[in-house]
Amino acid sequence: MSENSPKLVLASGSPRRKILMEEAGFVFSVVPPQNDEVEDNSMDVRDLTALNAKLKAEEIAADHGDSIILAADTLVLLGDRVFGKPKNEAEAKRMLSDLNGETHQVFTAFCLLRESNGEIFQQAVATDVQFKKLTSEERDDYHNLINPMDKAGAYAAQEHGEKIIDQFSGSMTNVIGLPMDEVIVALESEFGLTP
């Protein structure tokens, strides 16, 4: 990135998103948003993730107007039920139990925003994930290996995912929290920014 390239800001406290952006070769700063995520089960999951990603981007853009802000939001959909981050251990156990042996979708929406000239780009990506059928002891063992509390659906594909995921169809980085193929294309095509 040249010196007169616009600065890139990752509006996220997620260590997973930070690692994905670093692995892709981007130079960026991290500014986690402080706003609460909207929880509205009456909204379509694509619209809900897109709304939350946009709200996060707008919050950070207020103080970084000339930078390109990248924000994202991830939710899990099982049938018509939306799973965000569990509020407590009991809910984390319930989520993993409900997903057990089932195929669900992971939706991540990302928002790219440069407030100074009104540029905005949004996209939502879905990945199908098939879980293995595990005993309650195996699910507990898995939760003992990770921290399920900051993860949509109470699991992490990148942390011992082989213990719970049978297969997936689509973007693996989307399941981790940021669909990197789509993010890279959008940054280059919409903002002229490359790693």
Residues 177, 107: Cα–Cα separation, whole Å? 9
Tabulate helix, strand, coil % of the chain (nearest 5). 40, 25, 35
Catalytic status, residue 36:
no
Query: Looking at this protein, which amino acid is placed at residue 94?
Result: R
Sign of the torsion angle spanned by Cα atoms 174, 177, 16, 67: positive
Is the CA virtual torsion 176, 123, 84, 99 positive or negative? Answer: negative
Residue 47 neighbours by CB distance under 10 Å: 12
Task: Tell me if residue 132 falls in helix, strand or coil.
Answer: coil
Please tell me which residue in 73, 98, 141, 166 is annotated as part of the active site. 73
- Whether residue 61 contacts residue 115, with contact meaning beta carbons closer than 8 Å, is answered with yes
| Nearest 10 degrees: Cα torsion 168, 15, 26, 22 | -80
- Residues acting as catalytic residues: 73
